[in-house]
Copies of this chain bind each other. A is one copy, B any other.
Amino acid sequence: MRAYTRRVNYYETDKMGVVHHSNYIRYFEEARTSFMEQVGYDYPRLEAEGIVSPVTAVSCTYKTPLRYGDTATVQVYLTGMTRVRCAFSYRVLDGQGKLAATGNSQHCFLDGAGRPVNIQRENPEFYNTFSGELEPEPK
């Protein structure tokens, strides 16, 4: 899995001069989008098939601030996959490869009416694709 790299945007900084902490949660989402494209089952396709996968929990621990002019590289790991949930872990690196943050997120699967679905039964191709990408929690 290729890490996801993007620029730090000016509008993502705050008056402390660094990227506002809430934006890392957004970087995680961008990295999941990249992950899903790389495994060949992108999120727009999942949505088009009537499934959404909302975030049920998220956490982030901040190590070193990111600044405008820098890049953020997000390493993303699928660390959990069951019939009803999945989980990702993240490591965010700055442009020098220094660890900026770590985090994780949990997700469920819902149908168009907002009801939980058994994704293994509803969408076995998706389930199998994700299951093949499971990795241990990064250290």
With beta carbons under 8 angstroms apart, the residue of B16, B22, B69 that contacts A54 is B16
A31 vs B14: C-alpha distance in the bound complex, in angstroms? 17
Return the chain B residue nearest A104 by Cβ.
B59
CB-nearest residue of chain B to A62: B56
Copies of this chain in its oligomeric complex: 4
Contact sample, A vs B, 22 pairs, CB 8 Å cutoff: A7-B30, A9-B30, A10-B20, A10-B29, A10-B33, A11-B14, A11-B20, A11-B22, A11-B29, A14-B14, A15-B17, A16-B52, A16-B54, A21-B58, A22-B23, A42-B69, A43-B69, A44-B68, A54-B62, A56-B61, A56-B62, A57-B59
A131 in the interface (beta carbon within 8 A) = no
Binding site for B on A (CB under 8 A): 6-7, 9-11, 13-18, 20-23, 25-26, 29-30, 33, 42-44, 52, 54-62, 65, 68-69
How far, in Å, is A79 (CB) from chain B's closest CB? 16
For A69, what are the chain B residues with a Cβ–Cβ distance below 8 Å? 42-44
Which residues on B sit within 8 Å (CB–CB) of A61? 56-57
Give complex CA distance A26, B12 in Å: 10
A15: B residues at CB distance < 8 A = 10, 13-15, 17-18, 68
| A21–B54 touching, CB < 8 Å | yes
